[in-house]
Amino acid sequence: MKTFDVAVVGICAALYAVIGLLTSLGLSFGGVAFWPAAVIPAIFAVLFGPWVGATGASIGIFIHDMVVHGNPLLSLSAGVTGNFAMFFLIGYLSRNKVSGKKLGASIVFAATIMVVSLLLPTILLPSESLGFTQFPFFETMAISIGLAVASLFAVAAVFKLWPQWRTYGIASVIGQGVGSAVLTTGLWAYSQVFLAYPISGPISAAFAPIIFVWTFATEIPFVLLIGPPVIKAVYVAFPSLKPKQNEMIRAT
């Protein structure tokens, strides 16, 4: 990284940590907070490259975790690794051309996640959800429906209403999916080894999919709906940041 990149990483990390602390709202499933702040490193990853976005996100989430629960090993096992994978992929894939196969696969993947977000905590795993979240059935159902609708709207807006942002949309869906899987796996593995898990002990394998769905569905709407207008505004203000050959956006 150049000196400029290091400075931008610091800005990204600071914004990510502070906005994450301000917007988590104390609402979480399995220790994973409601997280609209995900749009911050996504924007940095697109504007300044995958290494900048991924590194800034990793440092920012580590700072956040130290303030919230103060467990560095837990943060490194789940938050840091998941965030690095997520935003590196968003930054990398958003700078590549989109193919029909990638477009179709992303739509199917996003739709599947939305369906699972309704079925897992309500019909398929109600006892696991209640035992871990302490939320009653109807409250869990309302949250699941709200997340599913918001996520489907965000995906539809990008792929249908804003075709110039399809590459960014595909990158976001893939990056978010991989990052959520890495975070969930790390969180589950940590909880099996260290009994001092901050919430309520080891996570059962049956509950892990709910954490994955929650992580994906509480972040992707913000990444898809807030990211494009902010990135476009920055391109207008600083044209040099816009990649010369990129189908993600044609500033029109």
251 falls within a domain = no
- Please report the pLDDT score of residue 122 as a whole number: 56
pLDDT band at 173 (very low <50, low <70, confident <90, very high): confident
178 falls within a domain = yes
* Full residue range of the structural domain in which residue 197 is found: 3-241
Choice between 230 and 95, residue whose per-residue pLDDT is larger? 230
pLDDT digits (tens, 9 = 90+) for 125-161: 666 565 555 566 566 666 666 766 777 777 777 777 7
Q: Does the reported pTM lie above 0.85?
A: no
pLDDT digits (tens, 9 = 90+) for 37-57: 999 999 999 999 999 999 999
249 falls within a domain = no
27 falls within a domain = yes
74 falls within a domain = yes
| Both tokens assigned to 181 | 């899987």
pLDDT band at 95 (very low <50, low <70, confident <90, very high): confident
65 falls within a domain = yes
Residue 226 to residue 202: CA distance in whole angstroms: 35
153 falls within a domain = yes
Residue 250 has pLDDT above 60, yes or no: no
DSSP one-letter string for the chain: --HHHHHHHHHHHHHHHHHHHHH-TT-EETTEEP-GGGHHHHHHHHHH-HHHHHHHHHHHHHHHHHHHT--HHHIIIIIIHHHHHHHHHHHHHTTS---HHHHHHHHHHHHHHHHHHHHIIIIISHHHHHHHH---HHHHHHHHHHHHHHHHHHHHIIIII-GGGHHHHHHHHHHHHHHHHHHHHHHHHHHHH-S--TTTSSPPTTTHHHHHHHHHHTTHHHHHHHHHHHHHHHHHH-GGGS-SS-TT----
Domain count along the chain = 1
C-alpha atoms less than 13 angstroms from C-alpha of 78 in its C-beta half-sphere: 24
- Please report the pLDDT score of residue 14 as a whole number: 97
14 falls within a domain = yes
Q: Which of 73, 78, 70, 84 is nearest to 13 (CA)?
A: 84
